Structure 1
Amino acid sequence: MVRKKTDCSRRERTTAIKIKCLNLGSDTKLQAKHEAFSCDKAGVAETPEGKLLINVDAGFCGDRGCGSTGAIIRDSNGGFIAAAYRFLPYVLDTPTAEACALKEGLELAKQIGCNKFILQTDCMAVVETIKEEGFSAIAAATIYEECFIVWRYMMEATIEHCHREANEGLANDVALLSNE
């Protein structure tokens, strides 16, 4: 049975990604060649032809001092390329978790050989820090420094802010996988 894109719930999309991760023998990374991933297109912003869209997000639990990150890469048609998620057993705060999500997205892009992309995050501090060449005076400063070292060699990469509601898609869901 082939489902229409609108028939897939967020839970089904997340479960599909988790199954793909587990089938590849890794619970933290997922790589795949471009394949039909019928649920992904919902909510995907327009991406210029030839560029990939990388969406990153993070979660933070202040009570436990832990967090999680998620990154997903899609092609210009919204098709699934790759995803990664990571559990952060020790993280100071939300800004640090968001910086780790940026790093996760950049590492995934580097891993698949991608340097022509639009990176989206719902954390304006991440966008501003990268646009200010990685300078930061917060606890995540060393993470930003590492990210900017990678970023400056990605000549055709751009970073932009997307509103939290727009970022409630798969990157958010993938970040939540780490806590399950």
Structure 2
Amino acid sequence: MWKKPTSGRVKINVDAAFSPENMTGATGAVARDDRGDFIAATSCFISHVTSAKSAEVVAIRNGLILAMTIGCNSLILESDSSNAVDIINQEDYLGQEVSIYMECRHLGSDFAKVEVIHCFREANSVADSIAKNALSTRSSMVWDEGVPDFISLQIVNDLAIV
């Protein structure tokens, strides 16, 4: 059962992991309410991806899907990949990731407000851990009941900083 977001904006942090040796990747996303409390998280293993940049754009798409799934209407989506953020924020994009870009544009139109912004890597450690875990386990997961054990300490540390 998804925890209903509070009336404020939801913040979703996303990140990707990429293995150039076997061209696989993974994404991680964590959603928090306007107080910083955990709402949900998701990971997705990608069996074939062409580059780290492509994986980062997929992470943004998966963050938008998480936001839709939890019933969020207004969100801030943060990624530590300035390249992926720049791609998504362009009016027109015709690069290698064009299909993912178009899907993100379509998904974003279903929200009242979406901001896709860059954050520093240090502020994205939870999403990074989720993506790395998905890559190493080659699995996709959803957590909606509670914080997964492998990121619980990072969640607590993030709240202490806020």
What TM-score do you get using the length of structure 1 for normalisation?
Answer: 0.70
Report the residue type matching 1:32 in the other structure: W
Amino acid at match of 1:101: A
Q: Which runs of 5+ in 1 are unaligned?
A: 1-30, 35-48
CA RMSD after TM alignment: 1.8
Distance, in Å, in 2 between the alignment partners of 1:94 and 1:126 is 10
- What do the CA deviations read for 1:12-69 (whole angstroms, capped 9, x no partner)? xxxxxxxxxxxxxxxxxxx6326xxxxxxxxxxxxxx711110000010101110000
Partner of 2:86: 128
Asked if 1:77 is matched to 2:42, the reply is no
In structure 2, C-alpha distance between the alignment counterparts of 1:115 and 1:33, rounded to whole Å: 14
- AA paired with 1:85? S
Structure showing greater radius of gyration is: 1
C-alpha separation in 2, matches of 1:59 and 1:137: 24
Q: Residue 137 of structure 1: CA displacement?
A: 2.8
Deviations 1:71-93 (A, max 9, x none): 11001111110111011110100
Query: What is the rounded CA distance, in whole Å, between the counterparts of 1:103 and 1:146 in structure 2?
Result: 7
Q: Is the 8 A contact 2:73 2:111 kept in 1?
A: yes
Quick one: distance in 1 between partners of 2:103 and 2:33?
26
Aligned to 1:151, which of 95, 101, 108?
108
Report how far residue 138 of structure 1 moved. 2.4
Question: Within 1, Cα distance between the matches of 2:95 and 2:122?
Answer: 26
1:157 aligned counterpart, secondary structure: strand
Higher RCO (Cα < 8 Å, 6 or more apart):
2
Deviation at 1:100, TM superposition (A): 0.8
Measure the CA separation in 1 of the matches of 2:66 and 2:111. 13
Matches within 5 A, 1:152-171: 152-167=109-124, 169-171=125-127
In the other structure, the counterpart of 1:175 is 131
* Cα distance in structure 2, aligned partners of 1:144 and 1:152: 13
TM-score for the superposition, normalised by structure 2: 0.77
Instruction: Give the equivalent residue in structure 2 for 1:32.
Output: 2
Q: What secondary structure is seen at the aligned counterpart in 2 of 1:159?
A: strand
- Alpha-carbon deviations, 1:100-155, whole Å to 9, x = none? 1011100111111112111100111222222213x323221101110111112323
* 1:102 equivalent in structure 2: 60
Counterparts of 1:85 and 1:33, CA distance in 2: 18
Residue 90 of structure 1 aligns with an amino acid whose one-letter code is H
State whether residues 15 and 128 of structure 2, in contact with CA within 8 Å, keep that contact through their aligned partners in structure 1: yes
Counting aligned pairs with the same residue, the percent is: 37
- Alpha-carbon distance between aligned partners in 1 of 2:65 and 2:27, rounded to the nearest angstrom: 12
Contact 2:3 2:70 in 1 (8 A): no
Moved over 3 A (4+): none
More helix by share: 2
